Amino acid sequence: MAFDVNNTRIEMIKEKFLNLMRKYSDNEKYNLECWSEIEKQYTSKSRHYHNLEHLENMLIELENVKSQIRNLDTLLFSIYYHDIVYKATKSDNEHQSAIVFEKRINKTSFDGIIDCINQIEATKEHKHSTDNDTNILLDLDLSVLGKSTEEYLKYSKNIRKEYRVYPDFMYRKGRKKALKNIIELNSIFKTDYFISKYESQAKENLKFELEQLS
């Protein structure tokens, strides 16, 4: 498998999802079917970063900001489904992920579907939102940018693997543009907690990668 999450940790991710589903569906067969789809997508051989390890990191980071979240279940569904569709050659992954989410969760009693769709769609451009829960989701999604140099290097190498269909000159051009767009933001992160914890290191990491690409 293309990710580094052992079976015990996969079970943790699975149980957290099933416990969430059980609040809105008493059809355990269907709940497991939804999980199996998530696991299959996030463990695809083409995934080196957008995988279960990415979900695990978001869930771990989430624990630090739970008290700030207005609707935890909505945010959890958004985490699990935000990258369920991910193809490096496509530009509508977020929209397609939202479609899969809506199709699946429409069969439950969960009533926050529209909010989840909006959150999932927001992960495309990562623009500051008037909704704090959405901003937290965006910060969780990008938290890897502010990790240690070693962890960031692992992340950047895995991103390159996901885009291996592109030759180096094309990848470098696109990656440099993406990194510059992030660096030029007033703030990479949207919420005080993540700005304080990761903003400075994230900018250093991004600048370092840009130098390596130039």
Question: What's the total number of domains in the chain?
Answer: 1
Contact 189, 203 (CB under 8 A): no
Task: Encode the chain (214 residues) as per-residue pLDDT tens digits.
Answer: 344 567 889 999 999 999 999 999 999 999 999 999 999 999 999 999 999 999 999 999 999 999 999 999 999 999 999 999 999 999 999 999 999 999 999 999 999 999 999 999 999 999 999 999 999 999 999 999 999 999 999 999 999 999 999 999 999 999 999 999 999 888 999 999 999 999 999 999 999 999 999 8
Q: How many CA atoms lie within 13 A of 32 on its CB side?
A: 3
Alpha carbon distance 141, 92 (integer Å):
17
Alpha carbon distance 127, 213 (integer Å):
25
Predicted local distance difference test score (pLDDT) of residue 4: 53
Residue in this structure with the two tokens 């939102």, named with its chain if needed = 129
Alpha carbon distance 17, 38 (integer Å):
10
Residue 19 one-letter amino acid: N
pTM: 0.95
Alpha carbon distance 38, 33 (integer Å):
9
Contact 133, 77 (CB under 8 A): no
Contact 41, 80 (CB under 8 A): no
Predicted local distance difference test score (pLDDT) of residue 2: 42
Contact 137, 61 (CB under 8 A): no
Residue 208 CA: distances (Å) to CA of 68, 82, 83, 108? 32, 28, 26, 46
Sign for the pseudo-dihedral over CA of 57, 58, 64, 66 = negative
Residue 185 one-letter amino acid: L
| Containing structural domain, residue 22 | 1-213
Which DSSP symbol is given to 66?
G
- CATH number for position 88: 1.10.3210
Angle at 92 between CA 86 and CA 96, to 5 degrees: 70
